[in-house]
Amino acid sequence: MIFALILSTSCKKEFTTIGNQLIDTPHFEGKLFDEAKVVIYDQPVDRVFASQIINDFPHPSYLNLPYASLGFYNDDKFGLLNAAFATTLNPDEKDFSKDLGDNINILSSKLIIPYFSHTEDEAYVLDSIYGDSTLDIQIHELTYLLPGYDPDSNLEEKRVFYSDFDFTPYKGTLIGEANAYEINNEPYYIYKRNDDGTFELDDDGEKIVKDSLSPGLVIDLDNNFFQQKIFDHSGEDVLSNTNMFRDYFRGLYIEALESGETDRFLMLPLDEAKILIEYTYDEVDDNGTPNYPNDDTVETKYNEIEMSFAPPYVNHYQNTLSPEAQTALNNSDIVNGDEKIYIKGDAGAEALVQLFDEQQLRELRESDWMINQAELYIYVDENEAQQMLSNPERLYIYNYDKKYFIDDAITKIYPDNYQNNYLTLDGHLKKDDNGQAYYKFGITRHIRNVIKNDSLNARLAIRVVPETYPDSLKIKDVFLDPDAFLPAGTVLHGNLSAVKPPVLKIYYTDPK
């Protein structure tokens, strides 16, 4: 799954996005009609999919978050977003299926979650991190069974999780915490140990590196918890296979606390996240006389076990909108449109668009024009944008009334060519020759069908999506799941703006 990774620098308000390249499609020859009525207004989005079963278009699949968000996205324009997440765990069955040993002594138990990162000049550069403060983090045992079955389906279908699912009643034992945790770009080293668990040293007395991991969250966990939860049950059925283990140890809930600073937001890849436990145990050698324990010898041995993170990963969002944004959403004018349009990912807000009025649409249908190209331009409110942490590099347009793709996103001729269709929609953040920022949407097929084929003139919706094509892009109910991964927002000029209202440009050939 491909997602745009957002790079944080040392300055709170400076962010860039990797990969913003798209060659504009040249315009067809023909006349231009740019007087179409465009009504655009604000629409709140209270929740988004966090993890779900998808059994419809474009293909059946079990969709999970590819990564999870943690921390606080604090935007003066939109307000405060607090993200936490739950995850299940997978045991390493080759380790858990055997006796873990006697006289266990846990040397270390750590939570390890890598950051998105890349290297430049042999140094790590962190991606998808916002803000510059520390975080207070807590890790709890999760008592809720994921994925769980939906009681509304008579427990026959797996539960669909939304971002407003509250895990608070299911926070079990506190098993780890880090106060004022500093984010840094240093790798994490795992050191070699001798058979007895002591560190292996080189000739200079320095510890020898066994493995170098990319930068990430590394937090000490409670050794006593794992002694009681895992090692005290060595050889029992609850550790014998993955399903029984998941029912017994249901996972983790990881959250950032508002008691600390609220200006750090992380998007974390979880495919390499794990719990690493290093321990020693006693190995008994009966010296070939199993019936005579008096000559047994006991030797201390070192071992380690891992538990990897496993889907579903379910994010929980708490959005506290700013008074300004809340007022705009509460007072949206669905008939006449709005002056300012607020759009934000992570269960924030979208925009609804109604093109044409009845008389104009009737005249266009009677015109017999050949529609060559249609593009919807919506402009960023530059004054408002300066107050935001970052503007999304990509917006997505879809059929709101059908909760489905518009015709430009899928064709009957090439139904599997989602990548190219996604590109034709455009929606990238650009600037014109005067430096005015805008988003442009290629909606040619949609306009052709509305005008030429008398298709329903459905309302369109505009949402935040990743910069590049996400494999999981699916629309269901009122939610577009990719925006559950991106906290960025923007303020656009609405159709009542006196500065730069939206424009629908239709290039056509008049056969008359």
Same structural domain, 246 and 338? no
Where would I find the beta strands (DSSP E) of 28-92? 31-33, 38-44, 49-54, 61-64, 67-75, 79-91
> Mean pLDDT, to the nearest integer, of 475-483?
47
pLDDT above 50: residue 413: no
CA dist 145 and 238 (Å) reads 15
75 inside domain: no
pLDDT at 307: 93
Report CA Rg, the chain.
Answer: 27
Range of the domain at 233: 82-316
Highest mean pLDDT: which of 66-70, 226-230, 345-349? Answer: 226-230
More confident residue, 46 or 378: 378
Percentage of the chain beyond pLDDT 70 is: 82
pLDDT at 260: 79
pLDDT at 411: 54
342 inside domain: yes
pLDDT at 161: 81
Same structural domain, 124 and 198? yes
pLDDT band at 235 (very low <50, low <70, confident <90, very high): confident
Pairing of strands 395-399, 460-464: antiparallel
pLDDT at 205: 93
* Alpha carbon 126 to its chain's center: 16
Given 298, 316, 334, the domain boundary residue is: 316
More confident residue, 163 or 12: 163
CA dist 299 and 283 (Å) reads 5
pLDDT band at 11 (very low <50, low <70, confident <90, very high): very low
pLDDT above 60: residue 275: yes
> Mean pLDDT, to the nearest integer, of 318-328?
91
Highest mean pLDDT: which of 46-55, 73-82, 478-487? Answer: 73-82
Q: Tell me the two tokens of residue 300.
A: 């201390």
pLDDT band at 65 (very low <50, low <70, confident <90, very high): low
pLDDT at 348: 84
77 inside domain: no
pLDDT band at 494 (very low <50, low <70, confident <90, very high): very high
pLDDT at 1: 32
> Mean pLDDT, to the nearest integer, of 122-129?
90
Given 284, 316, 348, the domain boundary residue is: 316
Q: Tell me the two tokens of residue 250.
A: 């249901």
* 463, β-bridge pairs: 396
Same structural domain, 93 and 54? no
Q: Tell me the two tokens of residue 340.
A: 């300012």
Same structural domain, 350 and 435? yes
pLDDT at 156: 72
Say if residues 62 and 53 touch (Cβ distance below 8 Å): yes
- Mean pLDDT is lowest, of 17-26, 69-78, 420-429, for 17-26
253 inside domain: yes
pLDDT band at 485 (very low <50, low <70, confident <90, very high): low
Same structural domain, 234 and 312? yes
pLDDT band at 505 (very low <50, low <70, confident <90, very high): very high
pLDDT at 293: 72
pLDDT above 50: residue 55: no
Same structural domain, 118 and 180? yes
More confident residue, 463 or 478: 463
Q: In residues, how long is the chain?
A: 512
pLDDT at 20: 35
Say if residues 263 and 240 touch (Cβ distance below 8 Å): no
Given 316, 335, 364, the domain boundary residue is: 316
pLDDT at 30: 75
73 inside domain: no
Same structural domain, 304 and 357? no
**37: exposed, middle or buried (Cβ count in 10 Å: 0-12, 13-18, 19+):** middle
pLDDT at 402: 84
Is the peptide bond prior to 169 cis by the omega test (within 30 degrees of 0)?
no
183 inside domain: yes
401 inside domain: yes
More confident residue, 353 or 409: 353
pLDDT at 473: 53
Residue type, 81: L
In the three-class reduction of DSSP (H, G, I as helix; E, B as strand; rest coil), residue 345 is classed as coil
CA dist 262 and 80 (Å) reads 8
Q: What is the pLDDT of residues 425-434, one digit of tens each?
A: 788 999 999 9
What does each C-alpha distance from 26 to 23, 373, 425, 442 come to in angstroms? 9, 10, 14, 12
Q: What is the pLDDT of residues 386-412, one digit of tens each?
A: 778 778 888 989 889 888 788 877 654
> Mean pLDDT, to the nearest integer, of 290-311?
84
Same structural domain, 159 and 182? yes
Same structural domain, 267 and 401? no
Measuring CA to CA, which residue among 306, 315, 89, 107 is closest to residue 213? 306
Helices (H), 376-443: 382-385, 418-425
pLDDT above 70: residue 356: yes
Same structural domain, 353 and 211? no
Q: Look-up: residue for tokens 């300004």?
A: 324
More confident residue, 408 or 127: 127
Residue type, 58: P
Q: How many domains does the chain have?
A: 2
More confident residue, 453 or 4: 453
Same structural domain, 104 and 202? yes
pLDDT band at 76 (very low <50, low <70, confident <90, very high): confident
N-terminal to C-terminal alpha carbon distance within the chain? 48
Same structural domain, 120 and 54? no
pLDDT at 370: 92
In the three-class reduction of DSSP (H, G, I as helix; E, B as strand; rest coil), residue 44 is classed as strand
419 inside domain: yes
* 433, β-bridge pairs: none
Say if residues 241 and 109 touch (Cβ distance below 8 Å): no
pLDDT above 50: residue 66: yes
**123: exposed, middle or buried (Cβ count in 10 Å: 0-12, 13-18, 19+):** exposed
Strand (E) or helix (H) holding 288: none
Q: Tell me the two tokens of residue 203.
A: 């000739």
Q: Whole-prediction pTM value?
A: 0.83
